[in-house]
Structure formats: structure tokens, C-alpha cells
Chain A
Amino acid sequence: MQPLRPVPPGARLLLGAGFFAVFLGLWAWVTEGGHVPALFLASPGRTLAAGWSLLTEYGFLGDIAVTVFRVVGGFLIAAVLAVPLGLLMGAFKPVEAFFEPFFSFARYLPASAFIPLLILWAGVGEAQKLAVIVIGSVFQLVIMVAVIAGGTRMDLVEAAYTLGSRPLGILRRVVIPAAAPQVAETLRLVLGWAWTYVIVAELIGASSGIGHMIMDSQRLLDTGQMIFGIVVIGVIGLVTDFAVKLLNRRLFPWAAL
């Protein structure tokens, strides 16, 4: 092994799958081998069976759809609010000076702590679920986008000026395209956080969704269902993450060079 030397794609896939196998093996060993009581941790087989019954008998697909809708909705609202503002803050320092201190404060407010308040304001409907995600991600996103935009290479900005750009041209033709790939990567990261927030929101005061199902299963002490729910979130996360990564590489071929 040499530092920073890339792995060939085949070996990479094998290594990645390898750890999944190790993990599954360990899980099977502690459960099937009776090292932990079945009441606390279902075996992989029991988890799969529980999942099957969830999907076929309890309409779990509906829950998944509801949760995905909330994640995507909340994430999109946050992105639409945060990305333009972040870009403006990064590009124009007075705008940054105006918003940055408050947002730096606001991003430390834990979204989950707002849940009781939000239930008071918005009830337990969709608006409340979306609000939790938006509150959880929008401030972080603004700050990160502002930092990215603020890091635009000054020499490129100057080159653009000597080619006739005016301030708005700099924003449109230098700051935004320069920031785009990193902003896209940041959005990918924030989409991951949105999953955490949605589940938290669904654990409290929800009547549908993956989080609600997990909460219900706890009442029935069905660890198989609970674990299946968690695994489903992981799988969806993995798939979307991969898809977004691929999309980013398509959109910004120059950034991957």
C-alpha cells in the first residue's frame, strides 16, 4: 500500500462489498449464535422476514413514499432558500456581514428541539415535518455555500474584469460556475442530513412514515421490523448518494479532472 495511490475499480468494488459481508457475518454470528437475546436484536433472517411482512401486509411502501416525499420536499425548500442567499453572501461582503452572524448562531440551534414548538405552531401535519428538515439544514447550507462562493479564485475574478465583466457578470459567469461543483457536493451531504431530521420528526407525533413505523414496532418489541426500517433508510441513502454523485460528475466533467 502506498499513500494516495488509487485502487483499481474492480478491487474497489470488492473491498467495499467485503466490509458489508463482514458486517453481515458478525450480525449473524451474534444473533444466530445466541450471544444476544432475540428480543433485543433480530437476526438477519428474521429481519428480512419482518421486512417482507411489512411490505406485503402492512403497506410499508406507503410509509417509505411518505418519508421520501418529506425528505425531498424539505431538502428542496432548504436548497431553494439557501443556495441563492449563500452565493450572494459569498460574492458580496456586505450581504455576508448582514446575515452571517445570525446564521452562524442559528445553525447551532438543534432542529429536534424545535419539534415541540413546531407542533404547537403547525400541528403534526406535513408542514411541521418539512419545517424540521428546513430548519435543520437551511442555516448550515447557507453558511457552507457562502464559504464556497467566497473562496472563488481571485485571479479568475480579475481575469474576468480585464475581459470586460461587470460585477453582475462576475457573479453570473465566474462565482456561480466556479462554486457549482462544490455546492452540488454540499447539497449531497445535506440531503443525507435531511434523512436524519425526517426520522426524528417522524418519531414524534406522526401517523405515517418510516420513523412512525419504527416507533410502532418498538411498542410491539419487534426488533426485526425496526432494524428493517433502519436498513431501508440506509439503502435509500446509499442509492441516492450514488445517483447524485453520478449526476454531479455528468454535470461538471471539468471538476473531476
Chain B
Amino acid sequence: MSDKTLRIDGVTRTFPARGRTPPTLALQPTSLSVAPGEFVAILGPSGCGKSTLLRIVAGLDRPTAGTVSLDGRPVAGPGPNRGMVFQSYTLFPWLTVERNIRYGLVERGLPEAEQAAIAARFIARTGLAGFENHWPRQLSGGMQQRTALARALANDPEILLLDEPFGALDHQTRELMQELLLEIWQGDRKTVLFVTHDIDEAIFLANRVLVMSARPGRIKAEVPVPLPYPREWTVKTTPEFGALKARLMAEIREEVRRAAVSTGT
């Protein structure tokens, strides 16, 4: 099959023992597939292996067992067809905002004019106009993650991997960024795999939410989000949203409690 589906098949990850620390089973056999144009959110408590799963899809980490394939081809390493926005700030500090956004285009050797045009388009779409020549250190966290998003999008990946991209932002900025991302996604319907531990965020953005269990993670529930797009922030106050939230809260509370017990916090 040569559709653009992302297939994750029985992926497991055990981090080997180091010195006195025993091996860590971070991810139990996990299988899922993401169809083109889908926005899938992965919801789970801290330490359940969300980042591990996403890093394996990105090709930055290798599964202990199982396979990942995109477009019918197995994933053997990182590549520009899977764009990623990280949990931490990863802009290149020596490049301006505009140059950061161009990074992948430079790497691909696009002509200068084309690079500039693409960068300008994503600067406008992510609301970064006026900040083109700022250094990353001069930006707020929200602005940095906008730039990271623009940098990933400018590279036109087949799938966008977002690892709690707004996790470090304050509540208001976070909501603003969610709306921005949704607007962008509604515009081009790029496939998105979005990791979060925020229930509202997952429901608001995704058309399918996967709930992961506490460590060692596995997918314990799948909840479709039948709210129609385009969505506005007002959707968060509808009864449908409330019902989904109640259901996901019940699922996740159980896991958070289990995680807390197993780590003794």
C-alpha cells in the first residue's frame, strides 16, 4: 500500500540498564495508524512514553521491537518528511527568526528567492511579522514556539510531529497558540501527531484522541472527537465538549494516580 498513512506496528522501547539503574520499559507494544489529513492527539501522564513514541516516529530513536512506516516505506532514521516541534526550545540561537525558518530550505538547496518567499509566507501565517530579524533569545517562549512551528511547516513535511509544543507556555499564550495551530491545520490539513497532557487541548484540536496508560505506556483508549471543523474557541463551552472532557478525565485520572503510586510521588 502506498498511501500516505503513518503506521506504527508493535513498537516497543526498553532503555537498557546503566550502571545500577535497571532497564526501563518505556513503551509497551503500541500500534496505531494515522491517515493523511488526520489530527491525532496522544494524551497521557508524564513519563508514560509519549516523547519516546514521537521520537521513534521521527527516527531520532530506534524501537526495541516493532516497525514504523510512512508512505509504505519503513522509517530508518530522521528525515525532512517528518517535521517536529519539540517540548523544549530548539531554535538555532545563531540564526535570526527568518533564517531559522529557512533552515530546511537552505539544506535542500532551494533558490534564494524561493526560500525568501516561503519564509515570508510562514512568518505571516504564524504571526511573526516584525520579528524576522530578532534572535531567538530576544523572543518570548510563545514566539519561539511559533518560530519552531513555522520552521517545521516551511519544510512542507508529510506529517507534523508536535511534542507538547505549548507545554512550557502560560495558559493564555497556550490557548492563543492552539487557535493558531488549528487555523493553520484547517487551512492545509496536514497530518498531525500531537502529544499533550492537557485534555482541553487534545479535544479542541484533534479529531481523534488516544489515551496512554501510565508507564510503561500503551494505548489504553481511543476517543473520536466528532466536533465539526472549523472550530472556534467557543466550542470549549459546549455540552459535547464537556462530555468528551468528562470521559477523558476519567480515563486519565486513573492513569495519573497509577503513575503517582508507582513512582511514590
Contacts and interface: CB of A to CB of B under 8 A. Distances in A.
Interface of A: 155-156, 158-165, 169, 173-174, 177-178, 180, 252-255, 257
Contact of A180 (B94, B136, B138): B94
B151 A257 contact: no
A179 to B, nearest CB: 10
Interface stretch (B81-89, B119-127, B177-185): B81-89
B82 A162 contact: yes
Contacts of B59: 161-162
A253 B135 contact: yes
A256 B98 CA distance: 20
Contact of B108 (A156, A164, A173, A178): A164
Nearest to B148: A159
Interface string B13-44: 00000000000000000000000000000000
A156 B108 CA distance: 18
Contacts of A161: 59-60, 77-78
A164 B138 contact: no
A234 B61 CA distance: 53
Contacts of A163: 80, 83, 103-104, 107, 151-152, 155
A131 B138 CA distance: 45
Contacts of A178: 92-94
B90 interface: yes
Interface residues of B, number: 31
B66 interface: no
Contact of A164 (B80, B92, B136, B137): B80
B79 interface: yes
A164 B60 contact: no
26 contacts: A155-B86, A156-B92, A158-B58, A158-B60, A158-B78, A158-B84, A158-B90, A159-B92, A159-B148, A160-B107, A162-B78, A162-B84, A162-B152, A163-B80, A163-B83, A163-B103, A163-B107, A163-B151, A163-B152, A163-B155, A164-B104, A174-B92, A178-B92, A252-B94, A254-B135, A255-B93
A162 B103 contact: no
A106 B59 CA distance: 40
Contact of A254 (B88, B94, B152): B94
Interface in B64-116: 77-80, 82-84, 86, 88, 90, 92-95, 103-104, 106-108
B175 to A, nearest CB: 25
Given A169-B107, A253-B135, A159 B84 contact: yes
Contact of A177 (B92, B106, B137, B155): B92
A158 to B, nearest CB: 5
